[in-house]
A and B are shown apart, each in its own frame.
Chain A
Amino acid sequence: MQGWRTFLRQESTHSRLIGVGALTLVTLAITIILPPVANSDLAGGAAIAVVILGLSWLIGWSGQISLGNSGFMAVGAYAAGVWAHHHATTPLIFTLALATVIGGISGLIIAIPSTRLRGPYLAGLTLAFAAAVTPIAQNFTSITGGEGGIFMNSLTTPGWFGGFFHGVNASINANAQWTADLAVVVAGVAFFFMANLFHSRSGRAMRLVRDNDVAAELMGVNLSRARSSAFMVAAAYAGLGGAMYSLLEASVRPETFPLTLSITLLTLMVLGGIGTLSGAVLGGIIYSFSPDLVSWVNSLTGVNPTSNLGANMQGIIFGLLLILTMLFVPRGLVSIISPLRKLVGSLRARPPASSAAKL
Chain B
Amino acid sequence: MHNIFGGIAQGVVYALVALSLVIIWQSTHVLNFAQGAMAMFATYIGMTEIDRGLGYWWCVIISVAVGMALGGLTERVLIRPLYGKPEINPIVVMVGFLGVLEALAAAIWTSTTRNIPEPFSQIFYHSQGNLVYLSPFIIFQVILALGIMLVVAALFRFTPLGLQLRASALAPEVSRLLGIRVSRMLTFGWMLSAGVGCIAAVIQASGSFGLFPTDMDGIFVAGFIAAAVGGLESPFGAVCGGLLIGLAEQFILSYWSPNVAPLGGIIILVIALMIRPQGLFTKTAGRRV
Contacts and interface: CB of A to CB of B under 8 A. Distances in A.
Contact of B224 (A65, A127, A330): A127
Interface string A98-135: 00000000000000010011111101110111011001
A340 interface: no
A308 B95 contact: no
Contacts of A65: 88, 91-92
Instruction: Indicate the size class of the contact surface on chain A.
Output: 35 or more
Interface in B159-182: none
Interface stretch (B58-66, B129-137, B140-148, B262-270): B262-270
Closest 8 CB pairs of A and B: A315-B103, A322-B96, A319-B99, A319-B100, A116-B279, A139-B259, A312-B103, A312-B107
Contacts of A320: 96, 100
A337 interface: no
B107 A120 contact: no
Contacts of B257: 139
B107 A117 contact: no
Contact of A135 (B93, B259, B282): B259
B282 A128 contact: no
Interface residues of B, number: 52
Which one of A121, A270, A314, A316 has the highest number of Cβ atoms from chain B below 10 Å of its Cβ?
A121
A119 B110 contact: no
Interface stretch (A24-32, A191-199, A236-244, A260-268): A260-268
Nearest to B106: A312
Interface string A21-46: 00000000000000000000000000
A138 B259 contact: yes
Contacts of B123: none
A78 B107 CA distance: 31
A5 B109 CA distance: 52
A129 B260 CA distance: 13
B225 interface: yes
Interface in B248-281: 257, 259-263, 265-266, 269-270, 273, 277-281
Contacts of B270: 113
Contacts of A127: 33, 220-221, 224
Contact of B78 (A312, A314, A327): A327
B262 A266 contact: no
Contacts, number: 139
A120 B31 contact: yes
Contact of B93 (A136, A309, A323): A323
A327 B81 contact: yes
B102 interface: yes
Contacts of B56: none
A121 B88 CA distance: 11
A84 interface: no
15 contacts: A67-B95, A116-B277, A121-B280, A121-B281, A124-B221, A128-B224, A128-B266, A132-B266, A135-B263, A138-B259, A139-B257, A260-B102, A312-B106, A322-B95, A322-B99
B192 interface: no
A59 interface: yes
Given A116-B282, A327-B93, A315 B110 contact: no
Contacts of B110: 308
A330 B90 CA distance: 11
Contact of A139 (B260, B281, B284): B260
A323 B91 contact: no
Contact of A136 (B92, B214, B263, B273): B263
B262 A321 contact: no
B115 to A, nearest CB: 19
A172 interface: no
Contacts of B107: 308-309, 311-313, 316
Contacts of A266: 92, 95-96
Contacts of B217: 131, 259
Given A263-B98, A327-B81, 8 more contacts: A124-B221, A124-B224, A127-B221, A132-B266, A139-B259, A266-B96, A267-B99, A322-B95
A326 interface: yes
Interface string B179-222: 00000000000000000000000000000000000100110110
